[in-house]
Structure 1
Amino acid sequence: MTGYLTTHVLDTARGCPAQGLKIELFRIDGETRTHLKTLTTNDDGRTDEQILPATEFATGDYELVFHAGAYLDATGTPPETPRFLSVIPIRFGMSEASHYHVPLLLSPFGYSTYRGS
C-alpha cells in the first residue's frame, strides 16, 4: 500500500463542514520545522487534493496547523479578545506507508482529533 495524508474539518458548533479554513503542513525533523504546503478547505470541509499525496509521502513526524481563529471570524462567531482558539497545531507521526487521515472537530472553545480512516 502507498501512503498518503488527508484531513477534514467539521464545525461542531454550527453542525456543518468548515469551509474556507486555512491549513498548513510542516515536516518535523528534530528541532527543524519545514513548511511543505498550505491548503484551504472546500465546501465539504476537505481539501481539494490530498495534503500529502503518495508521490510526496515519507514516514516521519509532521504538524498540521489549522487557522481556526480566522475561520471563526469569517463565520461571524462572536469574537473575544484574544480569541480562545486561534491557531491549532496537531503534531503526529506516520510510521508506515498507509492512509493517514487526521480530522479536526472544531468549536469556538474546544476541538478534538483522532486517526481516522
Structure 2
Amino acid sequence: MSAQRLLLVQQHLHPGESRAMEVKSSPLTTHVLDTASGLPAQGLCLRLFRLGEGNQHWTELRKSYTNADGRCPGLLTPEQMTAGTYKLFFDTEGYWKKMGQTSFYPYVEVVFTITNEAQKLHVPLLLSPFSYTTYRGS
C-alpha cells in the first residue's frame, strides 16, 4: 500500500486527528523530510508529550500524522503553549515499514523546553534509514 493511500485510510479512520490540527494555527510545528528519497515523509505517525509537574511522567497531548508535505502544523493551540518540557516522538520504524524498508532507529524522540509562550517554534526532522538530524527551526 502506498504511503499516500495509507494516509488517506488513517485520516478516514481517525478523521479528527490530522485534519482538525491543520486548520488551526499553531505556535509549534514540525516538518519531516525523508533525505533518502529527497521527499517529504508523508504519513509518519508522531506524538507530542509534555513533562508533568515534578518531572515524574509524560502526558500525551496530541497524536497525528504528517501530511503530504511532511508537515504537522497544528500540534498545539496558542492556549496550550505554556512553559515547560516537551517531547516529540516520531514513529520512524512504522514509517520505514510502510516504505518497504528497515531502519536502524525504531523511533526518534526530540525533547525541548519552551520558555517563551509567545514565541513560535519549529522542530524539523531530517530522516534516513540509518541517521536523523533535528534542529530548532524558525
Structure 1, unaligned stretches of length 5 or more? none
Shift of 1:75: 1.0
1:33 corresponds to which of 37, 53, 58: 58
SS at match of 2:110: strand
TM-score, length of structure 1 as denominator length: 0.89
Aligned to 1:4: 27
Aligned 1:1-117 pairs, distance under 5 A: 4-29=27-52, 30-47=55-72, 49-77=73-101, 79=102, 83-97=103-117, 98-117=119-138
Shift of 1:55: 2.2
Find runs of 4+ consecutive structure 1 residues off by over 2 angstroms.
none
Shift of 1:52: 1.0
SS at match of 1:73: helix
More helix by share: 2
Shift of 1:53: 1.9
Read off the aligned partner of 2:126 and give its amino acid letter: L
SS at match of 2:126: strand
Structure 2, unaligned stretches of length 5 or more? 1-25
> Which is bigger in relative contact order (C-alpha 8 A, separation at least 6)?
1
Percent identity of the aligned residues? 45
Read off the aligned partner of 1:56 and give its amino acid letter: Q
1:78-111: per-residue Cα shift (whole Å, max 9, x none)?
Answer: x2xxx41111111000110200100100000010
Which whole-Å CA distance do the structure 2 matches of 1:116 and 1:50 have between them? 16
1:35-78: per-residue Cα shift (whole Å, max 9, x none)?
Answer: 1110100100012x42112121111100000000100110122x
TM-score, length of structure 2 as denominator length: 0.76
